[in-house]
Amino acid sequence: MDLAFLNPLYEHPGPWASVYLGPAVPSESTAHEQSLAAAAVSRELAEQGADAATCRALREAVDEMRHEADPHGRAFFARDGQVVLDPPLASPPPAPEAFWTPLPRTAPLLDLAGEDPVCLVAYVDRRGARFELRGALGSEDAGAVAGRQWPLHRTSTVDWSERHFQLRVENTWEHNAAEVAEALAVCQEETRADLLILVGEDRERHAVRDRLPQPLLDRVVEAPHGPGSRLLDEDVARARVEHVRRRASDEVGRFLAARGPDAEGRRGAVEDVADLVEAAREHRIDELLVRPAGPDTHRALWVGEDPDQLAVRRTELRTLGQGRGLDEEHTWSARADDALLRSAVATNAPAISVTAATGATEGEVPVGGLGALLRWK
């Protein structure tokens, strides 16, 4: 997950209000129910110590959700009487949650707003293909490509006089498959689709796949439907879930392979909290892996206003801050997952939830719930 969109949350110090809410359910009493939800959020934050201006800003923002078309809900991050960020969610939270903490409570976003692959569906036949973009919010036409229209069909005879015609048919099919593959690659680049789904008869699907650029092959899924049938939402959802699971499993595999030392004795991955903190301070996190159920995710770290100011112990943080005006008034206890995510954002490192990689035979990875692939300068 690219975390760049979280940058506005770290441009100002906390404390921060973080709220996760599911979608507003349309009904005759939607306005009243949303008002009650907004009041409950405001009350919960006030009980945790949030200031009145921030509670009021969030109450108004939550109340306005009844006018939004977010199918899975929304997260809100606010401070000093202002909602700074309100990203839509890719899946609804199990229950409404509100937090008043020194750092924004961003870790739940890895599961709730993380992998939400956009699918580019290609309905392929011998004449060409039509493209459809399918995402969480619905579908839209994404264009079409028409290849050569003749000759397309072989004759039933095996007479030698027909061989030249049969070869022309084969050439037409191959030409059209190449045109479809080229157009599909261009469409993927324009739409930034995460997943390509090829729909059609076996031969046509395979011919297009064989001609796609190598970097796109890991994104391709084939669906054994006839070319004229529209792919069902359930099929798309299944492909999206499998894509997320496969990507998480791949990252877990990379992490496991990198844990051992290389020829120079350096490890390419760490999961001990102290090692993660050191890597974060030295800007060596290349990708952060989070297993939200792990015990280390809610372990307390000590943080300052700067993303590089984090430590396992408060005394260590004060030592790091000597000469930079870091005193007890500017150090706070924060969850380890939120503190490491702030460091990842500051160094442009991505993060991924490995929740979907539940089939990994290696067991609970990372062991404590937090791990990182490292970069070395």
pLDDT confidence of residue 137: 58
Q: How confident is the model at residue 65 (pLDDT cuts 50, 70, 90)?
A: confident
Is the pLDDT at 226 greater than 90? The verdict is: no
The CA distance from 58 to 42, in Å, is: 7
Closest by CA position to 133, among listed 170, 187, 82, 169: 187
pLDDT above 90 coverage of the chain, percent: 51
Q: What is the CA radius of gyration of the chain?
A: 26
pLDDT confidence of residue 321: 60
Q: How many CB atoms lie within 10 A of CB 110?
A: 23
Instruction: Over range 83-101, report the average pLDDT.
Output: 94
Q: Is the dihedral of CA 21, 22, 24, 25 positive or negative?
A: negative
Instruction: Over range 301-327, report the average pLDDT.
Output: 81
pLDDT confidence of residue 241: 84
Is the pLDDT at 317 greater than 70? The verdict is: yes
Instruction: Over range 352-360, report the average pLDDT.
Output: 76
Mean pLDDT of the chain: 85
pLDDT confidence of residue 83: 97
pTM above 0.85, yes or no: no
Structure tokens at 238: 């299944």
pLDDT confidence of residue 171: 60
Q: What type of residue sits at position 270?
A: V
Map residue 235 onto helix, strand or coil. helix
**CA torsion 315→321→323→328, rounded to 10°?**
-60
**pLDDT tens digits, 236-273:** 888 888 888 888 999 999 999 999 887 777 889 999 99
The CA distance from 346 to 352, in Å, is: 16
Is the pLDDT at 103 greater than 90? The verdict is: yes
| End-to-end alpha carbon distance in the chain | 23
Phi/psi for 54 (5° steps) reads: -70, -40
**pLDDT tens digits, 138-182:** 678 888 888 665 444 444 445 444 444 344 445 677 878 888 899
pLDDT confidence of residue 114: 72
**Long-range pairs for 53-58 at CB < 8 Å and ≥24 separation?**
53/80, 53/81, 54/17, 54/78, 54/79, 54/80, 54/81, 54/82, 55/17, 56/81, 57/81, 57/82, 57/83, 58/17, 58/19, 58/83
Is the pLDDT at 53 greater than 60? The verdict is: yes
